[in-house]
Structure 1
Amino acid sequence: METYIREALFILFQFCFLIQLYFLVTNQSRLTRYKPSETLPEASVPISVIISARNEANNLRENLPAILEQNYPDFEVVVINDCSYDSSDEVLEELNKAYPRLKIVTITEHDRFKTGKKFALTLGIKAAKNEHLLFTDADCIPASDNWITYMASSFNNPVQIVLGYSPYKKTRNFLNPFIRFETIKTAINYLSSAVNGDAYMGIGRNLAYTKTLFFGAKGFAAHMHVISGDDDLFVNQNATVDNTAIEINAEAFTYTDAKTTLKSLFRQKKRHFGVGKLYKKRHRRMLSIDAVSGFLFYILLTLCLVFNFEPLLALGLFMFRLIFQLIIYSKLFKRLDGKDLLWYLPFFDAVYYIYLNTFGLIGTFIKTTQWK
């Protein structure tokens, strides 16, 4: 390789190193200074928990009681049975007999009108009797019976959006460690941005906002044509410096099962990444710079080592960044239930940036046609 090409690549490697360091210092480190409430707050406002479910009979039977039995004085649970053809209706009827606070909204399939999750959630929101709405999925279970209490306590004037966290359960499946790692990295990014006053996304497995905000923004009308995005696109378009808070007390988590096959993971991530192109320009730019610089950092590091161009300096920069990551991530991974994943950091971090760029391209060019 020509000397001037190697010098140019090494300069680019240093530039990517500085960009990555910038994101660590200015964005992700902010979350380390955020202190979640350590004592159980008092009940604040009436809450409507909303769950859209399509063919989720088993999950409803297993997880819904833990939501219906929350330690909170004033709440209802609205479940939208969205065109299910399994035994969901029977399960919900049985649960309704035992739990009067359960409200069921049923949608039936129409030959000429295909519904999606956003349509189902809109009906659920309209059916909810309370102003403050808390969202999760049928395959999620709260970490404690104080989940609603912690999420609801963050609502105060002028807060209208509360971003929660939903980790995946730990299993021995070969995909599980990386899925959990990616989830934590994603959470660090979006929660840190919210702490910085620039929230760009939330996750529907654990998200709260007000009915006034929803109808004031005309619901999902701006992106109803997109299958996904009921959570992150809504937050991206409606979050402001003042109206958004986060809640990451361990008792406020909601847990779910991670995908167990590459095929199911591919289908899920293709759907998720497909909405990123609709984010605000500054958020698309920020996420793209982080993803591309991280990817190039590892590619150029490899080239420096393979072609023996300043290998010691290249390794030194890599180690400096890794040590800085460990300083920041050791606290955050522990707080977000991923302490065991720190051992995988040097390998998973490289895979993470390859994964980001791969699915970013797939999401840009391949359209998803169904949410479930």
Structure 2
Amino acid sequence: MIFTVLFYIFVAVTVIQLIYFISFFSFAFHQSKQSKTTTEFPVSVIVCSKNEETNLQRLIPLLLQQEHSKFELVLINDASSDNTLEVLQNFQEKDSRIRIVNVENNEAFWGNKKYALTLGIKAAKYDHLLFTDADCAPASAHWISQMSQQFSTTKSIVLGYGKYKYVGYSLVNLMIRFETLLTAVQYFSYARLGSPYMAVGRNLAYTKGEFFKVKGFINHIQVRSGDDDLFIKDAANNKNTAISYHPDSFTISEAPKSFTEWFRQKRRHISTASLYKFKHKFFLGLFFVSKFSFWLLAPFIVYSEPIEMSLPIIGLYFVFNYIALGVSAKKLKETQVIYFLPLLEIFLVLFQITIFIANTISKPTHWK
């Protein structure tokens, strides 16, 4: 009797997963028009930095080499204790396209990145804003152009892909790149289906108009994280949001080098999800619970049920999973992770459970 109940539960969670995989097809098989527009928008590239003197020395030359007709760099020094400000000033002396915003600690918003970003956005000369982090690098000299060409009279928010650099023979790097791929497939697919819910701040663009329309970060200014996804929660909708996934539009970051470092990073990111809209929390939670249930029940079903009943169900799961993620991985230049898909899924589910437990016990720390 109990195995019969478990079998029906297994069928149900597999069907739920299949529905999600089919929804991911909205991104996997989306054909985007990547031809360049005849008019280039002037863009303010905004980088908020706190104790990033080394990374900035590498990043700023790459940004200045961008092949875009008109842009400026708004470089924010968020109360750094190292030589970040001096590095910014040295570059500013050599290039007039650099604008520095020096933020001192404010008692009401101490250590709050959103306060620093708000000052940078207000200081920006142009209406179209493009954001990245100091520890990132544009994938090409056409990054600004590829991201900004998705703007139009109706599209005022552009979600990009923040890729992590490949490191050979590293399990943690493989796990991080798989999790990043899966997250991107989800937020790109939701945006394509008219329900955007998050973005990554290391590759995100929007207009000043959208920022001020929702009064910036005011609804969550006291939350240390969420300058990207909580802003998207307030500002994005089914009409004003576009996606950009051309390889030239990627940013590339150094991935955390250890599970401990990655664990701390993901604790901060996942804690923000509790502030998402209810429908997004529900569907994201359902995706995780159904995936966890699938892997939990699969061994019991294989053991208890005839192979002609269990194999087709499990086979359907893998076929749809490999199609949805395989095609998406090819688009996002992450095909290597697909070779290890089943193992990575199991590891990621266990990793996320551990984070959930840790966040339940104590709150994570934020923004350096």
| TM-score, scaled relative to structure 1 | 0.94
Aligned to 2:298: 301
Match of 1:331 among 327, 333, 340: 327
- Number of the residue aligned with 1:210: 207
Offset, 1:36? 3.0
Matched residues, number: 367
Whether the aligned pair in 2 keeps the contact of 1:304 and 1:311 (CA below 8 Å) is no
Q: Deviations over 1:208-257 (max 9, x none)?
A: 11111111101111111211100011102221110100011000000001
Match of 1:139 in 2: 135
Residues 333 and 339, structure 1, Cα contact 8 Å, conserved in 2: yes
Residue equivalent to 1:186 = 183
Match of 2:253 in 1: 256
Task: Give the match for residue 3 of structure 2.
Answer: 6
CA distance in structure 2 between the aligned counterparts of 1:118 and 1:314, rounded to whole angstroms: 50
| 1:1-372 aligned within 5 A | 4-25=1-22, 27-109=23-105, 114-172=110-168, 173-305=170-302, 307-310=303-306, 313-364=309-360, 366-372=362-368
Measure the CA separation in 2 of the matches of 1:135 and 1:282: 27
- For 1:74-98, what per-residue CA distance to the aligned partner results, in whole angstroms no more than 9, with x for missing partners? 1111011111111212211221122
Cα distance change, pair 134–365 in 1 and its aligned pair in 2 (3 A): farther
| 1:353 Cα offset (Å) | 2.6
1:147–1:251 CA contact under 8 A, matched in 2: yes
Give unmatched runs, 5+ long, in structure 1: none
Q: Distance in 2 between matches of 1:229 and 1:167?
A: 19
Offset of 1:358 from its aligned partner?
3.4
The structural deviation recorded for 1:174 is 2.8
- What SS does the corresponding residue of 2:304 show, helix, strand or coil? coil
Cα distance in 1, alignment partners of residues 37 and 134 from structure 2: 26
SS at the partner of 1:104? Answer: strand
RMSD of the alignment, in Å?
1.7
Partner Cα distance (1:361, 1:193) in 2:
27
Say if 2:36 and 2:149, in contact at 8 Å, map to a contact too: no
The 3 A distance-change label for structure 1 pair 289 and 117 is: same
Separation of aligned partners in 1, 2:7 and 2:306 = 8
Report if the CA contact (8 A) 2:196-2:232 is conserved. Answer: yes
1:200 aligned counterpart, secondary structure: coil
| Residues 274 and 364, structure 1, Cα contact 8 Å, conserved in 2 | no
SS in 2 for 1:324: helix
Give 1:202 shift: 0.6
- Describe the superposition over 1:244-300 as per-residue Cα deviations: whole angstroms up to 9, x where unpaired: 000110000000010011221111001000010110010011001000000000001
Q: Given the superposition, is the C-alpha separation of residues 113 and 35 from structure 1 closer, same or farther in structure 2, using an over 3 Å criterion?
A: closer
Displacement over 4 Å in runs of 4+: 110-113
Segments of 5+ residues of structure 2 without an aligned counterpart are none
Contact preservation (8 Å) 1:41, 1:150: no
